[in-house]
Amino acid sequence: MKAILMLGIVLGLLITSANLEVAAQGETEILNVEQYAKNIEICTQNLIAIGKAIGAYQKEHGDFPVWLSDLHPKHLTDGNPLICPADKKNGKPIFTPNTDPEMPVSYSYEFNPRYIVNRDRTGHLQLRESKTEQRKLYGDAMPLVRCRHHANKEFVVLNLSFSSRIYWSSNTWENKPEEIYESLEETISTLAAGIQEQPDNEHLSSVYSALVRLYMKVERAEDAENLINRYKETLKPDNLRDHFALGTMLEAMNRYEELLQLFAKLEEQFPENRSVFSRLSKIHERLGNAELANEYHLKANPVLALIGNTVPDFSATDLDGNPISLAQYRGKVVLLDFWAVWCGPCVAEMPNVKKVYDTYKDEGFDVIGISLDTDEGRLRGYLEENEIPWRQVFSRKGGDSPVVRQYHISSIPAPWLIDRDGTLITHQARGKALERLVAEALKDKSD
């Protein structure tokens, strides 16, 4: 009841207009306030029911269920609580590894047995194993079951914690752990205790970063300083991720000159790293060095230099073994879509791409998919199931694909929109902007 009451209060404070734009799981729709609130109320009741069922399952088995479907029918006699009323796909997740093998489920279960890539990318581990280790640091305030079907500008994910508390948080709550606790004091004491109890945990960098930021927020600068000094003692010279975490701490304390020195050394050590360039761009911008900031910005994002200029041609083989190049599409407006089946945002955007393709394909618009997948069977299965008609470049090399390397693609989705004359319009043609940009490009050359 407390969770429902608090959600109602928050909704009353935030919802002031007659309608609400909701972007959840890649879909955007307009809901009236009453329907939005009703969906959240039902979803909250669902999470409460799921929490109780998990508790009953634990009493019987001494462990968490493998999948949420294991709760049905014994501990959840009715399967309806597993479907969020705001879920337009009725329990079919966009990110396919989250698919419950037994029945439709709207909710993301943080203890499911799927595999994830290690942080150092040397191998795989179970999500459950990873979350068990994480729970030792963050405690039972951590999310156990999550709903992403109500997201708007204020809210992102509705969570059920291990302790059965319901609250809102960002999708990546680790960046703002205070969202999962009931107060700043609880957040600080929990994170400080986690560092103290697990000094050799190699994944503590994000915890240090968050704790320094929170210390500064509550005006405990001395504690923040001591924590940074402690962190420096454990810092490994060749660990780039941990140096970035130190940079975040220095930034929280407005120590930009020291921050600049840190990243200047990292540039010497990692002379081709675009993440280092990006951070140096922001540092120089903050210090008022506009020319250097722009120089590093272009180093971090080489594609920016192509906007308004001709995109170099590529030559490859499509999924069916046929030669394909950008030159073959000259005279058309083309979306060069770098994506993968395993990329949640890419898959979430696909219905929008299909809609724009179907609308404008007869007017001179086409799509070329550049797949970063390595599993051909999974790729073909997705294309067939979702009736994707345009050609795909597939090399089985993932991020090392020749076309991906040629265009310096470092993250996906990366949807490049190319004009009829081969010039790059934008490298971020997504969402509502895609149809507008395509329509404008087609109109400009037809007038």
pLDDT digits (tens, 9 = 90+) for 133-192: 899 999 999 999 999 998 765 568 999 999 999 999 998 899 999 999 999 999 999 999
Cβ distance 221 to 229 under 8 Å? no
Q: Which of 151, 180, 209 is the last residue of a domain?
A: 180
d(CA 379, CA 375): 6
Q: pTM score, two decimals? A: 0.75
The per-residue pLDDT for 143 is 96
The per-residue pLDDT for 203 is 76
Question: What is the SS3 assignment for 407-444?
Answer: CCCCCCCEEEEECCCCEEEECCCCHHHHHHHHHHHHHH
Residues 243-272, mean pLDDT to the nearest whole number: 96
Does residue 413 have a cis peptide bond before it, meaning omega lies within 30 degrees of 0?
yes
In a domain, 113, yes or no: yes
pLDDT band at 199 (very low <50, low <70, confident <90, very high): confident
Based on the domain organization, do 222 and 129 belong to the same domain? no
Cβ distance 156 to 148 under 8 Å? yes
Sign of torsion, CA 198 200 205 208?
positive
**pLDDT per residue as tens digits for the range 319-375:** 999 999 999 999 999 999 999 998 888 998 999 999 999 999 999 999 999 999 989
Residue 18 has pLDDT above 50, yes or no: no
Residues 372-389, mean pLDDT to the nearest whole number: 93
Based on the domain organization, do 300 and 433 belong to the same domain? no
pLDDT band at 277 (very low <50, low <70, confident <90, very high): very high
The per-residue pLDDT for 3 is 45
The per-residue pLDDT for 309 is 92
Q: Which of 180, 196, 214 is the last residue of a domain?
A: 180
In a domain, 383, yes or no: yes
Based on the domain organization, do 135 and 205 belong to the same domain? no
d(CA 12, CA 25): 24
Based on the domain organization, do 30 and 168 belong to the same domain? yes
The per-residue pLDDT for 279 is 96
User: How many domains does one find in the chain?
Assistant: 3
Cβ distance 345 to 413 under 8 Å? yes
Based on the domain organization, do 173 and 218 belong to the same domain? no
In a domain, 69, yes or no: yes
pLDDT band at 15 (very low <50, low <70, confident <90, very high): very low
**pLDDT per residue as tens digits for the range 108-142:** 999 988 765 544 444 455 778 889 989 999 999 99
Residue 378 phi, psi dihedral angles, 5° rounding: -65, -40
pLDDT band at 33 (very low <50, low <70, confident <90, very high): confident
Q: Which of 278, 305, 332 is the last residue of a domain?
A: 305
The per-residue pLDDT for 17 is 40
Cβ distance 57 to 64 under 8 Å? yes
Residue 446 has pLDDT above 60, yes or no: no
Instruction: State the chain's mean pLDDT as an integer.
Output: 88
Based on the domain organization, do 86 and 113 belong to the same domain? yes
The per-residue pLDDT for 155 is 61
**pLDDT per residue as tens digits for the range 56-84:** 999 999 999 999 999 999 999 988 999 99
Per-residue CA distances from 32 to 15, 164, 239 (Å): 10, 29, 49
- Kindly state the tokens that stand for 395: 């090399």
Percent of the chain whose predicted confidence (pLDDT) is above 70 = 88
What is the extent of the structural domain holding 438? 315-446
The per-residue pLDDT for 304 is 87
Residues 19-44, mean pLDDT to the nearest whole number: 71
Residue 223 has pLDDT above 70, yes or no: yes
Check which CATH number belongs to the domain holding 353 and give it: 3.40.30.10
pLDDT band at 383 (very low <50, low <70, confident <90, very high): very high
In a domain, 176, yes or no: yes
Residues 212-236, mean pLDDT to the nearest whole number: 95
Based on the domain organization, do 193 and 291 belong to the same domain? yes
Based on the domain organization, do 231 and 114 belong to the same domain? no
Based on the domain organization, do 331 and 429 belong to the same domain? yes
d(CA 268, CA 263): 9
Residues 283-306, mean pLDDT to the nearest whole number: 93
Based on the domain organization, do 95 and 238 belong to the same domain? no
347 sits in which H/E element: helix 344-360
